[in-house]
Amino acid sequence: MQWSLLRPVGLVPAALVLTTIAACAEAGKSAGPSEFLLVAQIVLLIAVGRGLGEIMQRIGQPSVIGELLAGILLGPSLFGWIWPEAQHAIFPKTPEQKAMIDGIAQFGILLLLLLTGMETDLKLVRKVGKAAIAISIAGILVPFACGFALGEFLPDALLPNPQQRLVASLFMGTALSISSVKIVAVVVREMNFMRRNVGQIIVATAVIDDTIGWIIIAVIFSLASHGTLDIASVAKAVLGTLAFLAISFTIGRRLVFQLIRWANDNLVSAAAVITVILLLMCVMALITHLIGVHTVLGAFVAGILVGESPILTRQIDERLRGLISSVFMPVFFGLAGLSADLSVLRDPNLLMLTGLLVVIASVGKFGGAFVGGTLGGLNTRESLALASGMNARGSTEVIIATIGLSIGVLSQNLFTMIVTMAIVTTMAMPPMLRAALAKLPMNKEEKERLEREQFEKRGFVANLERPLLAVDESVNATFAAHVAGLIAGMRGLPITVLHIGKRAGEREKARDGEASHEAVVKKAAETVSAHGEGDAGSVDVVTRARRAELGQTIAEEARKGFDLLVVGVDKVVATKDRFDRRIEDIVAEFEGPLAIVAAKGKHLKQPMPDALNILVPVSGSGVSKRGAEVAVALAQAGSGSLRVIYVATTRDRGAQRGASRGLSQETGILKDASDLAARYDLDITTTLRVNRAPEAAILREIDTTDIDLVVMGVDRIQGDHFSFGGVADAVLRQSKVSVLLVSSGEARQVPADKT
Q: pTM score, two decimals?
A: 0.69
Domain co-membership, 125 together with 67? no
Q: How many residues does the chain have?
A: 755
Pick the last residue of a domain from 540, 559, 591.
Answer: 591
Domain co-membership, 71 together with 121? no
State the virtual CA torsion across 162, 167, 171, 173 in degrees, nearest 10: 100
pLDDT the model gives residue 709: 92
Q: How many domains does the chain have?
A: 4
Pick the last residue of a domain from 58, 93, 128.
Answer: 93
- Dmax (CA) of the chain: 93
Domain co-membership, 368 together with 314? yes
Element (H, E) at 145: helix 130-153
Domain co-membership, 86 together with 136? no
Q: Is 596 a member of any domain?
A: no
Domain co-membership, 732 together with 670? yes
CATH, residue 188: 1.20.1530.20
pLDDT the model gives residue 28: 52
Q: Which residues, including other chains, have CB under 8 Å from residue 52's CB and lie 6 or more apart? A: 66, 67, 69, 70, 73
Q: What does the DSSP 8-state code read for residue 571?
A: -
Domain co-membership, 155 together with 55? no
Domain co-membership, 475 together with 417? no
pLDDT the model gives residue 187: 67
Q: What does the DSSP 8-state code read for residue 464?
A: -
End-to-end CA distance of the chain: 51
Q: How far is CA 31 from CA 26, 34, 89, 93, 662, in A?
A: 11, 8, 12, 13, 87
Alpha-carbon span 210 to 1, nearest angstrom: 40
Phi and psi (nearest 5°) for 564? -160, 130
Instruction: Render 545-564 in DSSP notation, one character per residue.
Output: E--S-HHHHHHHHHTT--SE
Q: Is 600 a member of any domain?
A: no
Any alpha helices (H) in 459-549, and if so which ranges? 475-491, 507-530
Q: Is 35 a member of any domain?
A: yes
Domain co-membership, 98 together with 226? yes
Distance of CA 362 to the CA centre of its chain: 30
Phi and psi (nearest 5°) for 719? 180, -165
Q: Which residues of the chain have pLDDT under 50?
A: 1-11, 503-515, 532-534, 536-537, 650-662, 749-755
Domain co-membership, 342 together with 211? yes
Alpha-carbon span 188 to 202, nearest angstrom: 8
Domain co-membership, 121 together with 268? yes
Domain co-membership, 195 together with 86? no
Q: Is 299 a member of any domain?
A: yes
Nearest to 620 by CA among 665, 687, 676: 665
* Half-sphere exposure in the Cβ direction for 693 (13 Å, CA): 10
pLDDT the model gives residue 505: 41
Domain containing 687: what range? 610-755
Each residue of 238-295: pLDDT tens digit?
788 788 888 998 898 889 988 888 888 888 776 788 888 999 999 998 998 887 766 7
* Half-sphere exposure in the Cβ direction for 274 (13 Å, CA): 16
Q: Is 343 a member of any domain?
A: yes
CATH, residue 560: 3.40.50.620
Q: How far is CA 406 from CA 224, 399, 410, 658, in A?
A: 11, 10, 8, 76
Element (H, E) at 168: helix 165-177
Nearest to 83 by CA among 93, 73, 97, 69: 73
Domain co-membership, 370 together with 410? yes
**Strand 564-568 to strand 594-598: parallel, antiparallel, or no bridges (unpaired)?**
parallel
